[in-house]
Homo-oligomer: A and B are copies of this chain.
Amino acid sequence: MSVEPTNVAIIGLGLLGGSLGLALKDKGYNRLGWARREETRIQALVQDVIDETSEDVELVLNQADLTIICLPIPKIMEFCEQYADKFKPGSVVTDIGSVKEVIVIRGEKAFETLDVEFVGSHPMAGTEKSGLDASFAEMYNGAAVFVTPTDNSTNRAVKLVEKLWKDINTTPVQLSVQEHDNLVAHTSHISHVLALALTLAVLDCDEDTEKLRYDGCASGFRDTSRITSSNPQMWREIIENNQPAVLDVVKSVEKEWHDIRTVIENKEYDKLESLFAKGKVLRDDWMKYRYN
Which residues on A are within 8 Å of B, measured CB to CB? 124-127, 143-144, 146, 171, 173, 175, 179, 183-184, 186-188, 190-204, 212-230, 232-233, 235-236, 239-240, 243, 246-247, 249-250, 252-257, 260-261, 264-265, 267, 269, 272-280, 282-287, 289-290
- What residues of chain B lie closer than 8 Å to A186, measured between beta carbons? 201-202, 213, 216
- Which residue of the partner chain B has the closest CB to A291? B222
Contacts A183-B213, A283-B199 known; A240 to B269 CB distance under 8 Å? yes
Q: How far is the CA of A213 from the CA of B180 in the complex (A)?
A: 10
Most B CB contacts (10 A, CB to CB) among A197, A222, A267, A278 go to A197
Contacts A224-B224, A269-B240, A273-B236 known; A127 to B219 CB distance under 8 Å? yes
Q: How far is the CA of A225 from the CA of B173 in the complex (A)?
A: 23
- What residues of chain B lie closer than 8 Å to A252, measured between beta carbons? 201
Q: Quote the shortest CB–CB distance from A139 to chain B (angstroms).
A: 9
Contact B283 A228 (CB under 8 A): yes
Q: How far is the CA of A289 from the CA of B221 in the complex (A)?
A: 14
- What residues of chain B lie closer than 8 Å to A218, measured between beta carbons? 124-126, 143-144, 187-188, 290
Q: Quote the shortest CB–CB distance from A16 to chain B (angstroms).
A: 13
- What residues of chain B lie closer than 8 Å to A204, measured between beta carbons? 256, 278, 282
Contact A191 B224 (CB under 8 A): yes
Contact B283 A201 (CB under 8 A): no
Contact of A200 among B202, B275, B290 (CB under 8 A): B275
Q: Quote the shortest CB–CB distance from A204 to chain B (angstroms).
A: 6
- What residues of chain B lie closer than 8 Å to A199, measured between beta carbons? 279, 282-283
Q: Please name 18 pairs of A and B residues whose Cβ atoms are closer than 8 Å in the assembled complex, sorted by A.
A: A144-B218, A171-B215, A186-B213, A188-B218, A190-B198, A190-B202, A192-B276, A194-B224, A195-B279, A196-B279, A197-B256, A197-B260, A200-B282, A224-B227, A228-B276, A228-B283, A236-B276, A240-B269
